[in-house]
Amino acid sequence: MISTPAESERHDRCWLAWPARYDVWGELLPAVRDDIALLARTIARYEQVLLLARPEQAEAASVAVGRDVKVVPIPVDDLWIRDTGPTFALHDDEVVGVDFGFNGWGGRQSIVDDQHVARRLLDHAGVRRTATPMVIEQGGFEVDGAGTALATRGCLLNPNRNPGATEADVERELAALLGIRKVVWLDGAPGLDITDCHVDGLARFVRPGVVLVHQARPGTDPDWERVTERTLATLSTATDADGRPFTTIPLPEPGELRVGDPALLEQFVASYVNYYVAGGAVLMTSFGDRTADDHAAGVLCDCYPGRDVVALDLDVLMSGGGGIHCATRDEPA
């Protein structure tokens, strides 16, 4: 039997990656490394953390993250291991890694090492690898652990990933490799951001049948308003693999941002749903809007009872077009 556990299930460890390239981050490279170090140290309070870093950068990375984080010398380009790393699944009781193709989000970012990260990580971990030529970033789909996935057409069906691919093609691949029995397709919006609207900034499973949905504030961004409205409309009539209707919980974006530098705002992701569920905690981003930050923390406390909700200031990381979830890769136990 093949299955893909939900992120809220028990982990063996969490993987992160050390941002490597000045040509990607420019003058922000030291600051984004500080953000990754903070994230790694925080997760390490709750579960084992392994950090990939280029061999020549491994020593400096180790100093930054501290002794509770193990640094693994594997070449990387950037920090977005949710997309570059493997997708872990269970084949009966064996953890296996699926190596989906990665092409730099449809060719938007040059890649030298990130296209090999999944294979190299699995080799290091001693986890059996299954490869497929289909380009699927895990930020583009979300699983409930019971056979249902949410996915965005704007990403997974984009010609810049899988030319000519249909919903049925992707569904067959996810079923064969991950045990997904039903995909609920959300429109997303190709071209809206570097990812073509990854689902992990839009909608996340709390548990089977319950979905947290990013809610754009009226008058802020009409494109995002339309995306979130269509997402809620789709989920209001959809059912999961077991025929359950969905309960949706809107999570409004912040009205104000702590960030004032226009250079940081061009690709900034102001979504509370891009959180990470660790062993005993939920890690979320704070944005400097105290009312919205507190509301999001309260919602996550209600959704994940028994876990600490830890809010982190990661403005530079968020300016890169992703968030906490995009920078983490959970490996199930």
Phi/psi at 264 (nearest 5 deg)? Answer: -85, -15
Residue from 173, 181, 183, 195 nearest 271 by CA? 195
Distance from C-alpha of 57 to C-alpha of 180, rounded to nearest angstrom: 38
Residue type at 211?
V
CA angle in degrees (0–180, nearest 5) for 132-150-233: 150
326 among known catalytic residues:
yes
Token output for 251: 């999570």
Do residues 312 and 323 make contact, with C-beta atoms less than 8 angstroms apart? Answer: no
Q: Which of 14, 155, 197, 326 is catalytic?
A: 326
Q: Which strands form 203-207's sheet, in the order they lie side by side?
A: 203-207, 210-215, 247-252
CA 14 to chain centre: 12
Distance from C-alpha of 304 to C-alpha of 212, rounded to nearest angstrom: 12
Which residues contact residue 262 at a Cβ distance below 8 angstroms, ignoring those fewer than 6 apart?
A: none
Token output for 307: 């876990």
Token output for 317: 């990381």
Token output for 139: 């930020």
Residues in the chain: 333
> How many CB atoms sit inside 10 A of residue 5's CB?
20
Burial status of residue 305 (CB atoms within 10 A of its CB: 0-12, 13-18, 19 or more): exposed
For residue 167, the SS3 value is helix
Catalytic residues: 326
